[in-house]
């Protein structure tokens, strides 16, 4: 999706207030690489961890996290090779599970509530298998943790491959090139903020922060067993118009995970990037789910 030139000052007051609520910046060494993470709110409040999706980063949560600090200490990390965390020679769901464990340990949390979007949900599911007490509540956001064999076959030919790193001469050009995957309409002011925090300046120009070589080693594990054995409370939130969590995928996940209707929540009108296109409605839904 092309962002265009909608200036940030057209954003509503709540959005400007939230992105101005700057978090504390931390980092922790995990398997010899620095993992960056942000903290909003009082550390003495209930722990809440936010996990981004593939090729995303913790700034995706800038407009969301401050709205969740009334009862929670909110932390968002950058997975290795994404955002401002160090790059690695190889990437895997196991590596990312260790990133999660490293941040939780650095916060001195025994366990936490975890809200995980897309790829982050799959990583969180594996992490809950490797470290069974890591979460007390897992909330999956439009995440295809397990999928029907027919869908897996269709998707196998669409796995991401290593990307060519393309430099832009300036930040505005870079922002104009930014695309969501999968593509969808979003609030312009939200998408612009995400885009402008997705690049870093080098002597050659502006590059996406995400390591273009991640797909060379990243593999998708079969998480059926891990999904059936999640021992913490589990909720699934999906976008009604999601391009990924289709009715077929939703039915299959509900069956495999033995999910009850009370733990499945639809965000009406939202697509896959549900907290970018319907942020206010998303926050209201999340607050209600966290209260349960």
> Mind listing the pLDDT tens digit for each residue in 169-193?
999 999 999 999 999 999 999 999 9
Yes or no: say if 70 and 286 are a contact pair by the CB < 8 Å rule.
no
pLDDT digits (tens, 9 = 90+) for 250-280: 999 999 999 999 999 999 999 999 999 999 9
* pLDDT confidence of residue 91: 97
pLDDT of 3 reads 47
Residue 187 pLDDT: 92
CATH fold, domain 21-163+213-291, is: Rossmann fold (3.40.50)
pLDDT value, residue 155:
67
- The domains of the chain are located at 21-163+213-291
pTM of the prediction? 0.94
Residues of the chain with pLDDT under 50: 1-9
């Amino acid at each position: 999706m092309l962002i265009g030139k909608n200036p940030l000052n057209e954003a509503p007051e709540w959005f400007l207030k939230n992105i101005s609520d700057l978090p504390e910046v931390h980092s922790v060494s995990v398997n010899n690489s620095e993992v960056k993470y942000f903290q909003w709110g009082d550390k003495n409040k209930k722990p809440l961890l936010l996990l981004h999706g593939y090729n995303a980063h913790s700034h995706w949560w800038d407009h969301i996290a401050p709205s969740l600090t009334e009862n929670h200490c909110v932390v968002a990390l950058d997975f290795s090779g994404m955002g401002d965390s160090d790059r690695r020679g190889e990437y895997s769901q196991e590596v990312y599970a260790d990133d999660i464990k490293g941040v939780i340990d650095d916060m001195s949390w025994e366990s936490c509530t975890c809200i995980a979007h897309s790829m982050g949900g799959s990583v969180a599911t594996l992490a809950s298998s490797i470290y069974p007490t890591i979460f007390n509540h897992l909330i999956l956001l439009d995440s295809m943790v397990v999928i029907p064999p027919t869908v897996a076959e269709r998707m196998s030919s669409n796995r991401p491959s290593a990307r060519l790193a393309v430099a832009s001469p300036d930040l505005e050009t870079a922002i104009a090139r930014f695309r969501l995957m999968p593509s969808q309409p979003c609030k312009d002011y939200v998408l612009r903020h995400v885009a402008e925090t997705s690049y870093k300046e080098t002597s050659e120009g502006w590059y996406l922060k995400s390591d273009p070589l991640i797909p060379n080693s990243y593999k998708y594990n079969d998480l059926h067993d891990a999904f059936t054995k999640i021992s913490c409370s589990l909720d699934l939130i999906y976008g009604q118009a999601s391009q990924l969590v289709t009715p077929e995928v939703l039915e299959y996940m509900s069956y495999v995970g033995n999910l009850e209707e009370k733990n499945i929540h639809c965000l009406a009108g939202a697509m896959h990037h549900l907290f970018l296109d319907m942020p206010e409605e998303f926050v209201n839904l999340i607050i209600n789910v966290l209260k349960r």
